[in-house]
């Protein structure tokens, strides 16, 4: 099995120097095996055997010819074995090289990372000497205007085979170096966010919070501060003069035309059904186990049983230029009846009178708008505020959507987000955990998570493609107390050459492969155990009914 | 010579063990190292066997040469 992912978690203990040394030894082993391989392939070894194999007509020569033929076969097998060994050793050396770079960057910062690169290069370890846009980045205008183009440049298969991708790690080190480390980067992002906000106000008018409208027609409005204080307003507000900006935002949200992608199609391309199970095992999972009435409603979906299926739900969130969307999955489970005739609870929260218990998945999509002054809160403004660890309109939108959906403090709730959505998910999760909400899990994919949610106790799974620059925009590694960061080389995923390094499909494919290898690969097992714990905490099983609720979001401006 | 190179590869491989490394990645590295050690041991055995058979074949050729006539010296 090829090693395509690396894990960094809370209990990791690393002596980076030791791994760098190991990578050097592994590279020496590769060179020795290659030397042996070349020697075994030399024609002189085989010429005599061929000659004697053809010269068996003379009495007395037959035993020698037979011995030569035997030796020839043994040589061929030895050559094949050593060739295979050399290839496997090269994979191992690359893997150790990448591990040492990851840990050097994550634990020692930019200086240690640079030193690690120099030492590894001196040891002959192979990784591409990239000199892309990552080195040219600077904070401020240069950073934010370069972003969309740079993301496009880093393709999943962007480096030649045999080279370890390191564009994202290089960028992380460079960003930290330029801005003076993690705190400097956050401070720079805040400064740029303020400037960006001023530009947006000049172009499109001053923003005054965010309006969220739900599938049942209920709507709410609030600024990040109002939402944090719990004083958001529900619309229409009886007895109050309506703010034309709020009214206009509500009309805009309700009239938006969305385009959506299909999570089912995305998973089917990976050979999975919409629950995330292999298609050939379809009959064992998902909707087919549900009572028939649960399959009739238009918003009833197959319960996403595994991380890949959960992440694929992001694709179902709508996109429009001025209006964003937050998707909330309501999982309802009818508890079995206890011997006394009462529905059995889970021990933490009693089921309702009708025996139903609820849990929630909050699905947050990534950046949709890059220009300043957008009315869509899934924009660059929210990116800068998230990285700068400031409350954003998108966070307010998520909290308003949860409020409208009816998420209660005791209900188990998980968050999942791609790109910006992951950073927003982490920030909201930490805020709500501090407000006694029952946050059970967070999944981020391709998100800048460093410095965010440092006090979050819920288990966090961060997926980061090594060729994707976006997770490195934080300039540091993940900081959540219970975070497991999975770094992966997307070139090992089938069809990677067709996908962008930052695309949702790339991350869904990685999650699917990790899930498939959870019983074989110790690091993929971390993904499996996170998924298992999350499903258990949410009470997901064959009796769970899941409904997708979509909340439209737009700024009041 | 090939034997010596494989032998050195095994020695270098043994030096890649990182005693101070803990966590899932370390567990994966150790598992990979175990697999590679098995592969390397097998490769060493095959190279050693091939070397011995080559020596035997050369000895057989040397023994047969005086009695061989009309051998095509390809």
Q: Are the beta carbons of B71 and A28 separated by less than 8 Å? A: no
| pLDDT tens digits for range A295-304 | 434 689 999 9
ipTM of the complex in this document: 0.86
* Maximum average pLDDT range among A355-359, A438-442, B62-66: A438-442
The rounded distance, in Å, linking the Cα atoms of A501 and A32 is 35
pLDDT grade, residue A206 (50/70/90)?
confident
- pTM > 0.80: no
| pLDDT tens digits for range A208-228 | 899 999 998 899 999 999 999
Residues 28-67 of A with CB under 8 A from B: 28-30, 32-33, 35-36, 39-40, 45, 47-52, 54-55, 57-61, 63-64, 67
The rounded distance, in Å, linking the Cα atoms of A290 and B36 is 47
The rounded distance, in Å, linking the Cα atoms of B43 and B9 is 11
**Across residues A172-197, what is the average pLDDT?**
62
Backbone angles phi, psi at A290, to 5 degrees: -85, 150
Is residue A200 within 8 A of residue A372, CB to CB? The reply is yes
| pLDDT tens digits for range B36-62 | 999 999 999 999 998 888 888 888 877
Q: In this model, does residue A357 exceed pLDDT 60?
A: yes
Helix or strand run (H / E) with residue A6: strand A5-9
What DSSP designation does B48 have?
H
Q: What pLDDT does A497 receive?
A: 78
- What is the end-to-end Cα distance of chain B in Å, rounded? 25
- SS3 string, A201-242, reads HHHHCCCCCEEEECCCCCEEEECHHHHHHCCCEEECCCCCCC
- What is the end-to-end Cα distance of chain A in Å, rounded? 54
| Residue of A11, A28, A45 lying closest to B12 (CB–CB) | A28
Instruction: Report chain A residues whose CB lies below 8 A from the CB of B67.
Output: 58-61
The rounded distance, in Å, linking the Cα atoms of A86 and A83 is 5
Instruction: Report chain B residues whose CB lies below 8 A from the CB of A29.
Output: 8-10, 12-13, 16
Q: Are the beta carbons of B49 and A92 separated by less than 8 Å? A: no
Output the furthest CA–CA distance in chain A (Å, rounded): 116
Strand partners, A500: A155
Residue among A547, A549, A289, A206 at smallest CA distance from A404 = A549
Q: What pLDDT does B45 receive?
A: 93
Place of tokens 């000895």: B59
Within 10 angstroms of residue A280's Cβ, the number of other Cβ atoms is: 9
| Residue of B9, B19, B22 lying closest to A11 (CB–CB) | B22
The rounded distance, in Å, linking the Cα atoms of A105 and A28 is 24
Is residue A331 within 8 A of residue A356, CB to CB? The reply is no
The percent helix, strand, coil of chain B (3-state, each to 5) is 75, 0, 20
Mutation pick from A10, A27, A44, A71 vs chain B, by most beta carbons of B within 10 Å, is: A71
Q: In this model, does residue A142 exceed pLDDT 60?
A: no
């Amino acid at each position: 099995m090829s090693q395509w992912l690396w894990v960094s978690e809370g209990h990791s203990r690393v002596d980076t120097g030791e791994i760098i040394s190991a990578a050097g030894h592994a590279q020496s082993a590769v060179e020795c095996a290659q030397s042996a391989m070349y020697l075994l392939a030399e024609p002189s070894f085989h010429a005599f055997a061929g000659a004697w194999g053809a010269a068996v007509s003379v009495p007395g020569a037959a035993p020698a010819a037979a011995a030569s033929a035997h030796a020839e076969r043994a040589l061929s097998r030895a050559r094949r074995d050593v060739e295979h060994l050399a290839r496997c050793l090269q994979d191992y050396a690359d893997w150790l090289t990448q591990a040492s770079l990851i840990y050097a960057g994550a634990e020692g910062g930019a200086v240690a990372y640079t030193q690690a690169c120099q030492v590894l290069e001196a040891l002959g370890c192979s990784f591409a000497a990239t000199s892309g846009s990552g080195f040219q980045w600077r904070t401020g205008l240069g950073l934010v205007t370069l972003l969309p183009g740079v993301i496009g440049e880093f393709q999943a298969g962007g480096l030649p085979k045999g080279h370890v991708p390191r564009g994202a790690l290089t960028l992380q080190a460079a960003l930290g170096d330029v801005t003076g480390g993690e705190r400097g980067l956050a401070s720079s992002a805040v400064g740029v966010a303020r400037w960006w906000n001023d530009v947006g106000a000049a172009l499109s008018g001053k923003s005054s919070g965010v309006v969220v409208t739900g599938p049942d027609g209920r709507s709410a409005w609030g600024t990040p501060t109002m939402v944090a204080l719990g004083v958001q307003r529900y619309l229409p507000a009886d007895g109050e003069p309506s703010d034309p900006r709020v009214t206009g935002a509500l009309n805009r949200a309700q009239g938006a035309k969305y385009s959506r992608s299909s999570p089912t199609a995305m998973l089917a391309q990976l050979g999975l059904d919409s629950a995330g199970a292999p298609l050939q095992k379809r009959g064992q999972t998902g909707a087919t186990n549900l009572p028939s009435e649960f399959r009739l409603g238009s918003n009833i979906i197959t319960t996403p049983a595994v991380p890949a299926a959960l992440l694929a739900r992001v694709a179902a969130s709508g996109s429009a230029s001025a209006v964003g969307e937050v998707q909330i999955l309501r999982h309802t489970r009818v508890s079995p009846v206890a011997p006394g005739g009462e529905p059995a609870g889970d021990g933490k929260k009693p089921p309702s009178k009708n025996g139903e218990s609820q849990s929630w998945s909050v699905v947050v999509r990534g950046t949709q708008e890059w220009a300043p002054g957008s009315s869509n809160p899934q924009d660059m403004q929210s990116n800068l505020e998230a990285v700068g660890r400031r409350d954003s309109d998108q966070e307010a939108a998520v909290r308003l959507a949860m409020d409208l959906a009816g998420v209660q403090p005791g209900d188990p709730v998980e968050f999942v987000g791609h790109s910006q959505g992951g950073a927003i998910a982490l920030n909201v999760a930490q805020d709500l955990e501090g407000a006694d909400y029952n946050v059970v899990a967070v999944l981020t994919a391709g998100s800048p998570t460093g410095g965010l949610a440092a006090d979050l106790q819920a288990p966090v799974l961060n997926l980061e493609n090594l060729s994707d620059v976006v997770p490195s925009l934080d300039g540091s590694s993940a900081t959540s107390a219970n975070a497991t960061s999975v770094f992966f080389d997307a070139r090992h995923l089938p069809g990677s050459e067709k996908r962008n390094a930052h695309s949702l499909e790339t991350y869904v494919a990685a999650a699917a492969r990790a899930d498939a290898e959870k019983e074989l690969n110790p690091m993929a097992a971390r993904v499996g155990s996170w998924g298992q714990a999350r499903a258990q905490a949410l009470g997901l099983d064959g009796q769970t009914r899941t409904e997708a609720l979509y909340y439209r979001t737009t700024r009041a401006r | 010579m090939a034997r010596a190179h494989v032998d050195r590869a095994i020695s270098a491989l043994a030096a890649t063990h990182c005693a101070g490394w803990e966590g899932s990645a370390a567990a994966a590295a150790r598992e990979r190292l175990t697999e590679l050690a098995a592969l390397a041991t097998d490769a060493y055995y095959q190279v050693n066997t091939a070397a011995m058979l080559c020596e035997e074949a050369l000895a057989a050729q040397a023994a047969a040469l005086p009695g061989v006539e009309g051998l095509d010296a390809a």
